[in-house]
Structures are given as C-alpha cells and as structure tokens.
C-alpha cells in the first residue's frame, strides 16, 4: 500500500512537470520573442544598438540589470495583447556601458531582443550643469530633426515588430531646445479600447542621438481599471498583511517566552538562525532579485547596508517562525520535526534528513505543477510567476529564501500548522483552518496575472497540498519543497524555453537537483537503520515526555514549589551553628546535588555531656532518600536521650532502621564523640568512609575501624562487625568527617577527586580555622568539577583542636 | 556521551553470570536492576556477578545487590560476587557488604562454589 502511494505520487509529479514543460511557452505573452535569453545576448544587442546610434563603447565595462514587472499591468490587459497594442515585452534588460570620466551609455533591450531605450551622457544627468538660455540656430534644429526622423523611422519599427494597422504616430514635440538637447516626440493614437498610447522620445545632441525611448502611456481608462482592481484586492491584501504581522508578533512572543522558560533550547534557536543565515547569504551572493537589480550593491555602502539589514530582518523572521513552531508543536507532531532537528544538527546522513531531501523534490514538483494543472480550464492565461522568474539573468537558484512567498510558506508550515495542531482539538475545524492558512500563504506569491477564479482554485489547491505534505512528509520536506519549487520552476522553464546558455543552466540545475534527490533516496532506502533512526533516542524520549506533559505544567510547577519547600525544610533540619566545645573549633556544610538530598550532618548532645558529630549518607537520591534521612535524624535524637555509648546508639539505630527500611535502602554514618577533658575523639563508622586525621606536621591518616552500613543487616550481625577507635587530638590537629560526594566528585573526564587530593587540601590548610578549611575543601572540589554534572550530595564536617578555648561559626 | 555501563549475561549450568562493565551508579543502576529482576522473576536464583570489569560502584549500585539478596536466598539461591578490582572491593568492604555477600577472587571460583555443598549464607542464616 505504501509502495503504491509512492509510485502514484511520483507518477503524478512527473506528469505534472511534463504538463508544465509542454505548455511553458503558451503562458508567455511575448511568445513571439523566442527563447529566454542569457545576458550575453542582451549585451550583444545593446552593443550593436549603441553602434547604430553612433556611440562608441568598445572596451567600456558592462553591467546588466533586469527591469521587470513595472509595466506588467499593461500587458495584463488581455485586449491590449489581442489587438497587438503591446509593442514589446514587459521585461527589459538594462545594459550599462561604463565609460571614462563618469560617462555612460545605457541601452534598454526588451525580452524579445528589441532595443527600446538609449541614453548617453553623464552618469547622473541631473547633476550635470545644463546651460540654459542657449539658442540653437534654425539650421542646427533642422539638422537635428533630420537625425531624429531617421532614428524614428528606422529604430522604432524594428523595435515594435508587427504593428496594428490602425496605429499612427504624430509628431507632438518638434525641436524643443533644452540646453544642448533638441527634443522630438511622437505620440501614437489610443488603442480602440482607449486605454493605452505609445510614445517615442528622442533627444539630439551635437548632431547625434543622445536619448531614445519607446514607452507606454497609460490612459485614464487603464488607470481607472487598475485602481478598481486595487480597490477590490486591497482589503484582502490588508487582511493578509495584518494577519501576517499579528502572527509574527505572536511568534516572537512565543519564542522569547519559551527561550526564557527553557522549553526551547538556545542551541536550537542558534542553529536555526545559522542555517537560515547561511541560506540567505548564499541567496544574496548567488543572485537574488535584489542582486540582479543592483549587481554592484556591495560597492555602494548605503545600498549594501540596506540590503544586509533587510536580509538580517528576513533571517530573524524565518528563525522566529521556526522556533515558535518548534516550541508549540504538540507531542504527536514530534516525528514531523525530527528532520528539522537532525538537519540543524548537521546529521544529514540520518534517515529523517535523507528522506526529507528526496521527498522535498517530490513536493517541489507538486508545487510547480499545481497552479498550471488547476488553471488549465481557464483559456488564454497570460503568464504567471514562474515564467516571470524564468526571465532572470542569474542562475536559477536565485530568489528563494528572501522572497515574501518563502516567508509565507515558512509561516504556514513551520508556525501555523504546529500551532493549530497543538491548540485546535476539533479535527474538522483544524483541517479547515489549516487549508485556509495554506491557501492564504500560497496566494501571497500569486500575481495578478491569473483570473480570480483560477487564483482562488490554485490557492486552495496549494493550501491542501501544504497540509498534505506537512502531514505526510513532515516539516523539513514540505518547507524545502515549497521554497525550492521556485528555482525548480525556473530551471524547468529555462530547460524548455531558454537559449543555449540558459538551457545549460537549466539542465545543470535540474541535473544537480536530481543528483541530490537520488543520493538522498539511496541513502534513505539503503540505510539499514532507517527505521530505528525514525525512532526517538533516549534523550529525545525524555524531551518528548516533558513535552507531552506540557498540559500538566501547572501541576508540575506546583510540585516544584513543594520541592522547594521540602528543600527549605531539609536545610532547616541541619543545625544552623556548631555547638560550643571547649578546645575545639567545629564547622560543617552540606551541599545537596538535587533539590532534596540524602546527606545529613548533625550535632548530638549525649547523655554523658559529650557532643557527638554525625555525618550520614542515605543511599539513593531524591525524595525517598530525603525521607530516610529525616527519619535517621529523628531516631538519632531520640536515641541520644537513652544511651551515651556510641556503639549502643549505632546498634539501636541500625535495628530501628533495619525494621523500617528493610534493605530497600541503607544508611552509612560516621559518629565522632568529642571529649574536651582528654582532647580525644571517639569515632565509629557504620559503613561510612573513615575519618580523616591530619597531624601537626601535615601527615594525613584515615582512621580505620570496622562497621557495616545501617539497615543492611540485623543487630547481631551489625554488632559483631562494629568497633570504635579513639584519636588523641593535639592542639592544631584537624579531623574531618565527610560523605562520599567529596572523594567521588567527578570532573568532565570522569576522574575522581579522590582521597589523596582531599587529604592534601586539608593538610595544606591545616593551620587555618575550621570554617576556612571547610570552605577551601568545597572550593577545590568545585574547581575540580569545573562545571561537570554533580551527581552526589557533598558534606564536610571539620573538627579542629584549637590552641586556645575558642569557637567559630 | 559514550556508553558508560554494560551488562553481559551468560548461563553456565545452573548459574547465571552477570558480567558488569563500567560505571554502576545512580544513572546505570536501574539497568542492572531490570536485568536482575528479569532473571529472579524467572526463577534463576543462582547468580554470580563478575565484577572484573566494573570500574566504579556507588551506593545506588550497591543498593541493587541488597534489594535482591533476600528474595533469592528465600528460594535457596544466592548472589555471589567474583573478580572485583581492589577499588570496588574496598567499597564493598567499607560498607560491610563483605559480611553479607560471599565474595571470591574470581568469577570462576564464585561459579564453582555453587557446585560445592552450601557452606551457608554467611550473614542471613543467623539473622532471621
């Protein structure tokens, strides 16, 4: 079934492209002009024409720019074309010969290869000083008239080709002296519909033609028609623009909110911006519409600044659209975004990207064919966007990303569709809205050259197409397809309709695109892991789960709030300051790895008056560890009232914990009871790391003694394996209790902080106060971890035998 | 991040051998727990853990051993450990695990110990 669908789609796409190619020249209003020419052709025509006007331009550098669409609406008037009242193609190429001393010669050549304009003189004629009041002698005017008449007779006829029989020209300005120019002007009668006349203007300067121009003169009736048209479409355009702007603002707000709430990774936004920026830069360099109209834009700082600002704005808009869609997409849309994610991570060999690449070829074919196939029933279509675009000078890649059409496609597919999917629950309504948005986006690129019925049908069909490709192929394939349809159409037209140079470009582009599509298809189909790669990785699964939990966000926030309270409560459970013990300086700290932790330290006033310091670590993490930790603290404080002996306390504690925890977890603990009278510490370790003792000369020893972890075994076993040790403390000596978070703290290379490093730090700092030693240990650990993930709570409790009786916080 | 923990399972007679490779910590412990759970639930209760390639164990990893020992001993099984590297062995010792588990120099010896008449479970026999 799947295979059948692919086959059917491929056949449809190829048939559609074939249909477009077969009718390529029928849509062109200037069908007589022959193939779409490359710039070299226009330049040779311009050169010949300049020579005919008597301008010598050999050796002058040439720049060519396109001038298209400015009189499109004249051609759009069907009856003008039918009556032959259209004298030349609406497209022209302006060839400029840049001479020395700011002298230029400009020749305008229409798409059919007829010169329709000529100028020679200073680059900026307004700036050149015009000496007024100069009188030309009647002989000079007479001679000029002869030259102008000659030009009129010979040039405009060749420019206009076949003229309608009822077209007549009249001399309307005869020898008007303007500075050094003597101007002549011929105006035609209006066409039978009364919409358009033509004008020929020539200026003779120093016995040669200085300016020649053939241009249309729209009459009142045509202007009224145009205004009427504008009035009808203006509200629709206004609504579209308003919706677009509102959507963009919304997208911007969503992006910022999601970035700040960390629901959208910064990495994604940065990668998206980089990808769009790269494409935009290529577009600008390889020949966008802007570039074509001002090929030397980068030499003009002001123009360059404007262009780059516009490009940056476009990059921003595109990025925001992608980011907003990515952060609002519903969980069920995840797979459709897989291609985008992998593409931005440059994992282009992955099945998700390879598949998107080759299906985007399919999608682009549909995009190209759709308007033609849909509007086939409408007879005598004039021309449409792809034809218009085919007449460019640059290679067919141009004009893709920077166009409003591309932004509209991105708007619909990357932003509006995910939004609808996430928020509109009613399926029928969602489908309807999606098609409407798609149609609106498609109509942005539509030009007025289709009859409105065709435009409507074509837009709706494109809307449907967008929804289908989004659903079926995902975001990357449909966006790429939509955007690449423009160069694809252009390449197709050039291949069918171009001259040799343009055909070469067209064929090369088509071949390049086919190659990419084929490689991607082979990569995809022969990738043994293609199914797995469509699956989610563990990381993505975690992300996916958090996303599907988005509706539970408020609950989660509440829980986080409770966790924060639990953390505060737990921190409050730790003693706020150490007890006063004569001859000892004590300080401790506990830094939990998660919000609630399993480490504990406490000071217990024993029955016999001694103070005992305790550091304990509950195995496991999070809430259960925190609960056992609380229980341990409670039990310890209850037991100290009954007993003074450390071994007895530990055994009793083990018994209670064993009864409750029953090996689901266990607790390790060090207990150190300080006897100020003898300046000694009795220390016991229940499965905990041995106490560190640092002598006066800095020698470090770990005080070993026997002992199992608490809650692992019943009392008899625990008791049998338990012993205590006693350490005499000379003034200035240091003892440290700590949790395994200290010695097992890891850096990015998974190296452990280790006992040796720990002992070394304490030994180095032994002359300082307890609080300073404590802080130094914490600092060194933090420096060692250097930002690596912290997995375990870290607890340090420093006991320092002081010289005098003193205490510090 | 590269794979930090792996389990290779092997059956040798009536004994199931779990060869642990890499870091057994709070992140990887559930993986080990799941693997043990599957065998114990299926009635395979003579278990040897080969720790010769286990480079690190945290308290969460140790917790996994504890959570099954009672269950398997109830049905005359046992979890025996062999081949621990000295650093990991130290952790077992510090915590008192060597009082509860039978620990052998090599996994092979641990496997063979099941063949011999049971010397009794060191700790548990007395406890309950």
Could you give the C-alpha distances from A415 to A409, A763, B37, in angstroms and in order? Answer: 9, 61, 46
CB of B3 less than 8 A from some CB of A: no
Distance from CA of A511 to the nearest CA of B (A): 40
Q: Examine the pLDDT at A331 and tell me if it is beyond 70.
A: no
| Partner residue facing B127 (CB), from A617, A620, A717 | A717
- Chain B residues within an 8 Å CB radius of A712: 66, 95-97, 100
Phi, psi of A90 (to 5 degrees): -70, -10
Q: Does position A396 have pLDDT exceeding 60, yes or no?
A: no
Query: Can you tell me the distance from the alpha carbon of B92 to that of A798, in angstroms, rounded to the nearest whole number?
Result: 26
CB atoms within 10 A of CB A294: 16
Q: Indicate whether B50 pLDDT > 90.
A: yes
SS3 A536: coil
User: Of A158-162, A259-263, A507-511, A629-633, which gets the smallest average pLDDT?
Assistant: A158-162
User: What whole-number percentage of chain A has pLDDT above 70?
Assistant: 80
In this complex, the residue of B27, B60, B66 whose CB is nearest that of residue A712 is B66
Chain A neighbors of B72, CB-CB under 8 A: none
Neighbouring-strand partners of residue A736? A692, A798
Chain A interface disruption, residue of B25, B36, B59, most A CBs within 10 A: B59
Determine the residue of chain A that is closest to B23 in CA distance: A750
In this prediction, residue A808 carries a pLDDT of 43
CB atoms under 10 Å from CB of A230, counted, come to: 12
Q: Which of B30, B36, B66, B71 has the most A C-beta neighbours within 10 Å, making it the best mutation to test the interface with A?
A: B66
The pLDDT of residue B125 is 38
User: How confident is the model over B8-22, as a mean pLDDT?
Assistant: 90
- Closest Cα in chain B, distance from residue A394 (Å): 46
- Which of B23, B67, B99 lies at the smallest CB-CB distance from A717? B99
Q: To which H or E segment does residue A647 belong?
A: helix A646-661
Please report which confidence band the pLDDT of residue A290 belongs to, taking 50, 70 and 90 as the band edges: low
pLDDT for the residue numbered A132: 52
For residue A181, the model assigns a pLDDT of 82
Q: According to the per-residue pLDDT averaged within each range, which of A90-104, A119-133, A150-164, A436-450 is highest?
A: A90-104
B100 in contact with A at a CB cutoff of 8 Å?
yes
Query: Measured between CB atoms, which of B27, B59, B70 is closest to A619?
Result: B59
Per-residue pLDDT band for A601 (boundaries 50, 70, 90) equals: very high
What pLDDT, in 10s, does the model give residues A713-731?
888 888 888 889 999 999 9
Band the pLDDT of A32: cuts 50, 70, 90.
very low
Using a CB–CB cutoff of 8 Å, tell me whether B125 touches chain A: no
Q: Which residues of A touch B (CB under 8 A)?
A: 617, 619-621, 663-666, 668, 685-690, 707-709, 712-714, 716-718, 721, 740, 744, 750, 791-792
A806, pLDDT greater than 60 = no
Which chain B positions have a beta carbon within 8 Å of A685's beta carbon?
94
| pLDDT tier, B121 (very low <50, low <70, confident <90, very high otherwise) | very low
- From CA A213, how far away is CA A54, in angstroms rounded? 16
Say if B113 is an interface residue toward chain A (CB within 8 Å).
no
> Closest approach of chain A CAs to the CA of B109, in angstroms?
25
Predicted local confidence at residue A389, as pLDDT: 55
Count of C-beta atoms within a 10 Å radius of residue A808: 14
Contact residues, chain B, for A684 at CB < 8 Å: none
pLDDT at A552: 46
Length of chain A: 809
Quick one: which of A479, A400, A470 has its CA closest to A435?
Answer: A470
Which of B25, B99, B123 is opposite residue A791, by nearest beta carbon? B25
- A744 with B127: Cβ contact below 8 A: no
* pLDDT value of position A381: 56
Query: Which of A1-10, A296-305, A395-404, A715-724 reaches the highest mean pLDDT?
Result: A715-724
Distance from CA of A328 to the nearest CA of B (A): 28
Residue A291 has pLDDT above 60, yes or no: no
pLDDT for position B123: 42
Give the closest residue to B36 by CA, choosing from B74, B73, B79: B79
Mean pLDDT score of chain A: 80
B22 touches chain A (CB under 8 A): no
Residue A442 has pLDDT above 50, yes or no: yes
User: Do A663 and B23 lie within an 8 Å CB cutoff?
Assistant: no
Q: A455-500, pLDDT tens digit by residue?
A: 788 888 888 988 988 888 888 888 888 888 877 887 887 888 777 8
Note the pLDDT of residue A660: 83
Mapped onto helix, strand or coil, the DSSP state of residue A209 is strand
> How far is CA B87 from each of CA A246, A378, A754, B90, B94, rounded to the nearest angstrom?
63, 84, 11, 5, 11
Task: Residue A663: list chain B partners with CB under 8 A.
Answer: 66-67, 69-70
What does the pLDDT look like over A253-286, one tens digit per residue?
Answer: 989 988 888 778 888 899 999 998 888 887 777 6
- Report the range of poorest mean pLDDT among A161-170, A505-514, A523-532: A523-532
Chain A residue closest to B94 (CA)? A687
> Are the C-beta atoms of A130 and A179 separated by less than 8 Å?
yes
pLDDT tens digits for range A175-211 = 888 777 888 898 988 888 888 888 888 888 877 888 8
Q: From B22, which residue of chain A is nearest by alpha-carbon distance?
A: A750
- Indicate the range of A506-520, A619-633, B97-111 predicted with least confidence: A619-633
Q: What is the DSSP string of A467-535?
A: HHHHHHH-HHHHHHHHHHHHHHHHHHHHHHHB-HHHHHHHHHHHHHHHHHHHHHHHHHHT-TTHHHHHS
Weakest-pLDDT range from A115-129, A557-571, A650-664, B114-128: B114-128
CB–CB contact B67 A750 (8 Å)? no
pLDDT of A355 higher than 60? yes
Cross-chain residue pair A687–B94, CB shorter than 8 Å:
yes
The DSSP string of chain B is: ----EEEEEEEETTEEEEEEEEEESTTTHHHHHHHHHHHHHTT--EEEEEEEEEEEE-HHHHHHHHHHHHHHHHTT-EEEEE---HHHHHHHHHHTGGGTSEEESSHHHHHHHHHSPP---TTHHHH-
Asked if residue A226 lies in contact with residue A134, where contact means CB atoms within 8 angstroms, the answer is no
Question: Residue A798's pLDDT is what?
Answer: 95
CA-atom Rg of chain B in angstroms: 14
**pLDDT for A490:** 78
In the structure, what pLDDT confidence band is assigned to residue A111 with cuts at 50, 70 and 90? confident
Closest-CA distance, B97 to chain A, in angstroms, reads 7
A46-55, A309-318, A593-602, A775-784: the lowest-pLDDT one: A593-602
**Beta-strand runs (E) in A543-679:** 584-591, 599-605, 611-618, 667-675
Q: In whole angstroms, give the CA distance from residue A626 to residue A566.
A: 9
Contact B26 A620 (CB under 8 A): yes
Report the run of H or E that residue A6 belongs to, with start and end: helix A2-22
Confidence class of residue A397 from pLDDT cuts 50, 70 and 90? Answer: very low
* Cβ-defined contact of B95 to A712 (cutoff 8 Å): yes
> Smallest CA–CA separation between B58 and chain A, in Å?
9
Mean pLDDT of A161-174: 78
* pLDDT band with cut points at 50, 70 and 90 for residue A450: low
Q: Which of B36, B95, B125 to mutate to test the interface with A (most CBs of A within 10 A)?
A: B95
Crossing angle (nearest 10°) for helices A301-328 and A266-287? 140
pTM of the model as a whole? 0.53
CB contact under 8 A, A619 and B123: no
DSSP one-letter string for A296-362: TGGGSHHHHHHHHHHHHHHHHHHHHHHHHHHHH--GGGHHHHHHHHHHHTT-TTSHHHHHHHHHHHH
Residue A422 has pLDDT above 50, yes or no: yes
- Would the pLDDT of A693 be above 90? yes
Strands A724-728 and A734-738: unpaired
Residues 6+ apart with CB under 8 A from A110: A30, A33, A88, A89, A91, A92, A116, A159
Phi and psi dihedrals of A463, rounded to 5? -60, -45
A contact test, residue of B36, B72, B99 with most A CBs within 10 A: B99
**CA distances from residue A588 to A593, A727, A798 in whole angstroms, order as listed:** 16, 20, 6
Are A668 and B95 inside 8 Å of each other by CB?
Answer: yes
Predicted pLDDT at A29: 45
Nearest-Cα distance to chain A for B112, in Å, is 26
Asked if B74 reaches chain A (Cβ–Cβ under 8 Å), the answer is: no
pLDDT in tens, A206-250: 778 888 888 888 888 878 877 887 787 788 888 888 988 999 999
Tokens of B18: 């779990």
Whether residue B59 and residue A714 make contact (CB cut-off 8 A), yes or no, is no
Residues 6+ apart with CB under 8 A from A324: A250, A251, A252, A254, A255, A258, A415, A419
Residue of chain A minimizing CA distance to B30: A620
pLDDT, position A680: 92
Residue B124's pLDDT band (boundaries 50, 70, 90)? very low
Nearest CA in chain B to A711: B66
pLDDT band with cut points at 50, 70 and 90 for residue A684: very high
SS3 A115: strand
| Least confidently predicted of A206-220, A377-391, A684-698 | A377-391
| 8 Å CB contact of B60 and A668 | no
Residues of B in contact with A537 (CB under 8 A): none
Residue A295: per-residue pLDDT: 62
pLDDT top residue among A800 and A38: A800
């Amino acid at each position: 079934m799947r295979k059948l669908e692919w086959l059917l789609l491929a056949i449809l796409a190829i048939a559609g492209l074939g249909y477009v190619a077969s009718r390529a020249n029928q849509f062109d209003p200037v069908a007589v002009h022959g193939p779409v020419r490359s710039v070299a052709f226009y330049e040779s025509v311009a050169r010949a024409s300049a020579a005919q006007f008597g301008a010598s331009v050999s050796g002058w550098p040439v720049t060519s720019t396109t001038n298209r669409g400015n009189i499109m609406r004249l051609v759009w008037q069907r009856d003008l074309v039918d009556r032959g009242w259209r004298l030349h193609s609406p497209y022209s190429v302006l060839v400029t010969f840049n001479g020395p001393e700011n002298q230029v010669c400009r020749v305008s050549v229409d798409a059919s290869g007829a010169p329709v304009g000529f100028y020679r003189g200073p680059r900026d004629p307004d700036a050149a000083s015009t000496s007024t009041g100069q009188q030309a002698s009647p002989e000079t005017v007479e001679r000029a008239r002869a030259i102008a008449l000659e030009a009129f007779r010979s040039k405009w006829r060749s420019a206009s080709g076949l003229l309608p029989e009822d077209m007549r020209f009249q001399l309307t300005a005869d020898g008007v002296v303007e500075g050094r120019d003597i101007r002549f002007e011929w105006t035609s009668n209006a066409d039978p519909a009364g919409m358009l006349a033509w004008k020929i203007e020539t200026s003779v300067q120093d016995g040669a033609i200085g300016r020649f121009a053939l241009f249309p003169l729209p009459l009142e009736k045509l202007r009224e028609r145009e205004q009427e048209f504008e009035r009808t479409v203006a509200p629709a355009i206004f609504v579209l623009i308003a919706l677009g702007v509102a959507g963009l603002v919304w997208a911007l707000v969503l992006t910022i909110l999601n970035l700040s709430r960390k629901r959208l990774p910064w990495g994604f936004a940065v990668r998206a911006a980089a990808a769009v920026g790269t494409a935009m830069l290529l577009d600008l360099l390889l020949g966008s519409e802007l570039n074509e109209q001002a090929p030397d834009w980068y030499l003009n700082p002001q123009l360059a600044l404007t262009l780059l600002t516009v490009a940056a704005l476009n990059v921003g808009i595109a990025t925001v659209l992608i980011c907003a869609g990515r952060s609002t997409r519903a969980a069920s849309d995840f797979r459709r975004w897989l291609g985008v994610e992998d593409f931005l991570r440059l994992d282009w060999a992955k099945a998700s990207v390879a598949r998107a690449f080759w299906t985007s070829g399919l999608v682009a074919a549909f995009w190209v064919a759709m308007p033609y196939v849909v509007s086939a029933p409408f007879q005598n279509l004039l021309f449409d966007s792809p034809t218009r675009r085919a007449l460019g000078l640059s290679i067919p890649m141009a004009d893709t990303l920077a166009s409003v059409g591309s932004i509209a496609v991105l708007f619909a597919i990357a932003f509006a569709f995910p939004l609808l999917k996430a928020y509109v629950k009613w399926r029928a309504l969602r489908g309807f809205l999606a098609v409407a948005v798609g149609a609106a986006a498609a109509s942005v690129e539509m030009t007025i050259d289709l009859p409105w019925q065709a435009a409507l049908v074509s837009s709706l069909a494109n809307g449907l197409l967008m929804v289908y490709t989004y659903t079926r192929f995902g975001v990357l394939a449909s966006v790429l397809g939509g955007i690449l349809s423009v160069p694809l159409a252009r390449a197709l037209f050039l291949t069918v309709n171009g001259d040799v140079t343009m055909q070469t470009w067209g064929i090369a582009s088509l071949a390049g695109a086919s190659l990419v599509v084929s490689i991607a298809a082979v990569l995809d189909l022969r990738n043994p892991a293609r199914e797995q790669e469509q699956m989610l990785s563990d990381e993505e699964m975690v992300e996916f789960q958090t996303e599907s939990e988005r509706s539970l966000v408020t609950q989660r926030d509440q829980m986080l709030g409770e966790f924060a309270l639990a953390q505060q409560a737990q921190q409050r459970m730790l003693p706020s300051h150490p007890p006063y013990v004569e001859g000892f300086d004590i300080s401790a700290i506990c830094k939990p790895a998660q919000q609630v932790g399993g480490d504990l330290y406490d000071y217990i006033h024993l029955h016999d008056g001694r103070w005992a310091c305790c550091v304990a670590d509950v195995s496991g993490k999070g809430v259960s560890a925190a609960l056992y930790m609380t229980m341990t603290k409670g039990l310890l404080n209850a037991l100290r009232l009954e007993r003074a002996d450390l071994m007895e306390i530990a055994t009793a504690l083990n018994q209670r914990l064993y009864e409750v925890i029953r090996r689901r977890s266990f607790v390790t603990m060090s207990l150190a009871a300080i006897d100020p009278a003898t300046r000694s510490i009795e220390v016991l370790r229940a499965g905990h790391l041995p106490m560190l003792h640092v002598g006066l000369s800095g020698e470090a020893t770990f005080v070993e003694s026997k002992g199992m972890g608490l809650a692992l075994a019943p009392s008899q076993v625990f008791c049998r394996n338990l012993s205590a040790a006693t350490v005499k403390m000379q003034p200035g000596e240091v003892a440290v209790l700590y949790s395994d978070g200290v010695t097992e703290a890891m850096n990015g290379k998974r190296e452990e902080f280790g006992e040796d490093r720990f002992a070394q730090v304490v030994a180095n700092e032994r002359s300082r106060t307890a609080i300073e030693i404590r802080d130094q240990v914490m600092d060194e650990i933090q420096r060692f971890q250097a930002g690596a993930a912290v997995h375990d709570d870290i607890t340090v409790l420093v006991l320092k035998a002081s010289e005098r009786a003193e205490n510090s916080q | 991040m590269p794979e930090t923990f792996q389990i290779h399972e092997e059956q040798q007679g009536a004994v199931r051998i779990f060869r642990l490779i890499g870091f057994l910590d709070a992140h990887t412990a559930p993986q080990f727990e799941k693997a043990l759970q599957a065998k114990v639930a299926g009635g395979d209760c003579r278990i040897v853990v080969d720790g010769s390639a286990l480079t690190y164990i945290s308290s969460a990893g140790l917790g996994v051993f504890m959570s099954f020992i009672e269950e398997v001993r109830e049905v005359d099984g046992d979890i025996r450990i062999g081949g621990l590297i000295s650093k990991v062995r130290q952790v077992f010792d510090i915590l008192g695990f060597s009082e509860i588990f039978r620990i052998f120099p090599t996994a092979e010896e641990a496997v063979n110990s099941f063949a011999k008449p049971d010397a009794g479970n060191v700790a548990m026999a007395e406890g309950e």
